[in-house]
Amino acid sequence: MSFSNADTGSKTADPYVAKNKEQPELSEKVNDLINFVDKSKYCMMTTRIASSGLLVSRCMALAAKEGNGVDLIFHANSESGKTDDLESDNDINLAFLQPSGEWASISGIASLETDREKVRKYYSPGLKAWLGDLGDGKHDGGPEDPRIILIKVKAKTAQYAITRSATGALGNAIEFAKGVVTGETAQVNKLRYLDESELQQCKSTSCISQTYNHTDDFAGRSSSQ
């Protein structure tokens, strides 16, 4: 089932997609996605509220990556609303955005990881600022605090748009202005899509030039929501 509100005959109804979509080598597509995610660091994580079925998004900071850089890991407070959401429905979406208009949307399956060895591996002292020390000798925001868990997102599909212009926003603005004057669709982005089989291939046999793994400070907007 699809929606349409126009009949353009033999002409492309969505010339922006037609002009900007490209299909380079898999290694280039994945490398550019990973580099963009690293550059952005912050994303909106969308889950489904268990009690109502409505969607909700929260700002999260990337903590680390696994699966040759394709699977993403976030810190979380086990007592926050998002863990209830994911326990009920583990379908998830991550949306990254830059002020330039570049963006990435990653859909996947989330799992809640409570293994202390892995929590310690990705622990950041910045977590203390968000969880606080409850003064009971156990819930202190440290690596052994049972409230600190991980959300691992196994990417299933991804789509993203990064700028074509070497001059970034300035080049895009010029291209956009040309389009306004001439009516020619602007070619400003590299619009790409990665399906499940492509991402799985990268997880099993590395197709990227470098695997990144970092533990940046926790964004914390997730700890109490």
Q: Report yes or no: 90 and 109 within 8 Å, Cβ to Cβ.
A: yes
Give the number of other Cβ atoms within 10 Å of residue 143's Cβ. 15
**Range of weakest confidence among 50-54, 63-67, 163-167:** 163-167
CB 192 within 8 A of CB 11: no
In the chain, what percentage of residues exceed pLDDT 70? Answer: 77
Q: 188 versus 111: which is more confidently predicted?
A: 111
Mean pLDDT of the chain: 84
What mean pLDDT comes out for the span 127-154?
A: 96
Higher pLDDT, 150 or 220: 150
- Looking at residue 101, its pLDDT comes to 86
Whether 85 has a pLDDT exceeding 50, the answer reads: yes
Alpha-carbon gap, residue 23 to 27, rounded angstroms: 11
If pLDDT is split at 50, 70 and 90, which confidence band does 75 have? very high
Mean pLDDT of 68-95: 95
| DSSP-assigned letter for residue 156 | E
Tell me the whole-structure pTM to 2 decimals: 0.82
The structural architecture, per CATH, of the domain 24-204 is: Roll (2.30)
Residue 203, judged by CB atoms within 10 A of its CB (0-12, 13-18, 19+), counts as middle
The tens digit of pLDDT for each residue in 167-221 reads: 556 556 655 555 565 656 555 578 899 999 999 998 877 676 654 444 344 444 4
Quote the strand ranges of 11-147, DSSP E.
Answer: 42-48, 55-66, 71-77, 91-97, 103-113
